Amino acid sequence: MNNQLRPDEAAAALAEIGQQQEKAIEAVLVPVWYWWVVAAGMVAIGAAVDTHSAAVLAVVIPIAVLVIAGLTAAMIFGTYRRVRVRDRELLGDRGALAIVGFTWLIVGLTLGLAFGLRAAGAAWPATIATVAGGAALVAGGPLLMRALRRIMLGNRAGRAR
């Protein structure tokens, strides 16, 4: 059969391989709405902190934390139950570094801005900082997913070379 296979048929088979692997990788990427929900939770926490009201903090923070943690856990374990990609091979050091770097960037930006604004005597420092951090999350999250997708497609077994 090998000898009878035409180059265009072999090219079509390689394209099919690429498509199937792309679909498998895309199935484990975080959807855009996730970043919006997490950003909204961050802003709710920031605004609650700025009210300086113990009652508001007692209600808003547990709810926001529960929503963010619950959603993250549901996404991870929901996906994990259905399919598990070869994380180590596909993400590699670059992918892991991109995830850790992005997380630290958002945390550093939000906390740094909040403390900086508070030191400068600005009104609503936590709200402003979480809005900025949330905006960075919404803008950067899909970019991170695009970068991870590119890294994983580059590292997959049997990719076209």
Partner 1 sequence: MTAARFDELIHPPTRLAIVSLLAAVEWADFKVIRDQLGLSDSALSKQLSTLEQAEYVQIRKAFVGKRPRTSARLTGTGLAAFQQHVAALQQIVGRSGVTVLPG
d(CA 91, CA 4): 37
Question: Nearest approach, Cβ of 4 to partner 1 (angstroms)?
Answer: 10
Tokens 């000898």 — which residue?
3
Contact set with partner 1 (CB under 8 A): 1-2, 5, 7-8, 10-11, 13-25, 27, 81-87, 90, 152-153, 156-161
Residue 16, classified by CB atoms within 10 Å of its CB into exposed (0-12), middle (13-18) or buried (19+), is exposed
Contacts of 67 (CB under 8 A, 6+ apart): 37, 41
By beta-carbon proximity to partner 1, the closer residue of 22 and 72 is 22
By beta-carbon proximity to partner 1, the closer residue of 15 and 58 is 15
Question: Nearest approach, Cβ of 55 to partner 1 (angstroms)?
Answer: 40
Question: Nearest approach, Cβ of 121 to partner 1 (angstroms)?
Answer: 53
By beta-carbon proximity to partner 1, the closer residue of 13 and 58 is 13
- SS3 assignment, position 1: coil
Question: Nearest approach, Cβ of 100 to partner 1 (angstroms)?
Answer: 21
Beta carbons within 10 angstroms of residue 145's beta carbon: 17
